[in-house]
Amino acid sequence: MIQAGTAAFVADNCGARVAVCIKVLGGTRRRYASVGDLVKVSIKDATTRGRVRKGEVLAAVVVRTRHPIQRGDGTYVRFGDNSVVLLNAKHEPIGTRVFGPIAREVKRSRFLKVVPLAPEVV
């Protein structure tokens, strides 16, 4: 689960390293975001030659969480970090590659262009 104030690693090659969630999108009283949900993030650390700069506010989709995800068959999936993939205004990924595995729940969400960029879907 990711909420406002949660730091997350950026899992793509857009140039950002760390982003902090400032808002969970999808409802006025919504507090938590899980895998496949849309959040607004502020970039806290970025490389000098990347596409994004420190301080920018962008939309992102959550691809990994430390909080366990329960699936329909009773299994749980938990990752070692909280990670997001940054999106542009059209909700398309800014980067061209995604580092590390992503959860299958991203595939079921509306962000289908993120899935082929990842090396593995868990």
Q: What is the pLDDT of residues 34-65, one digit of tens each?
A: 999 999 999 999 999 999 999 999 999 999 99
pLDDT score, position 100: 96
The single-letter code of the amino acid at 86 is L
In this prediction, residue 93 has a pLDDT band, given cuts at 50, 70 and 90, of very high
Q: Is residue 110 part of a domain?
A: yes
Say whether pLDDT at 3 is over 90: yes
- Is the overall model pTM greater than 0.85, yes or no? yes
Range of the domain at 59: 2-117
Q: DSSP secondary structure string, 42-64?
A: EEEEE-TTSSS-TT-EEEEEEEE
Say whether pLDDT at 109 is over 90: no
Tokens found for residue 110? 């509306």
Report the 10 Å Cβ neighbour count for 46: 20
Q: How many domains does the chain have?
A: 1
Q: Is residue 122 part of a domain?
A: no
Q: Match 């689960």 to its residue by tokens.
A: 1
In this prediction, residue 106 has a pLDDT band, given cuts at 50, 70 and 90, of very high
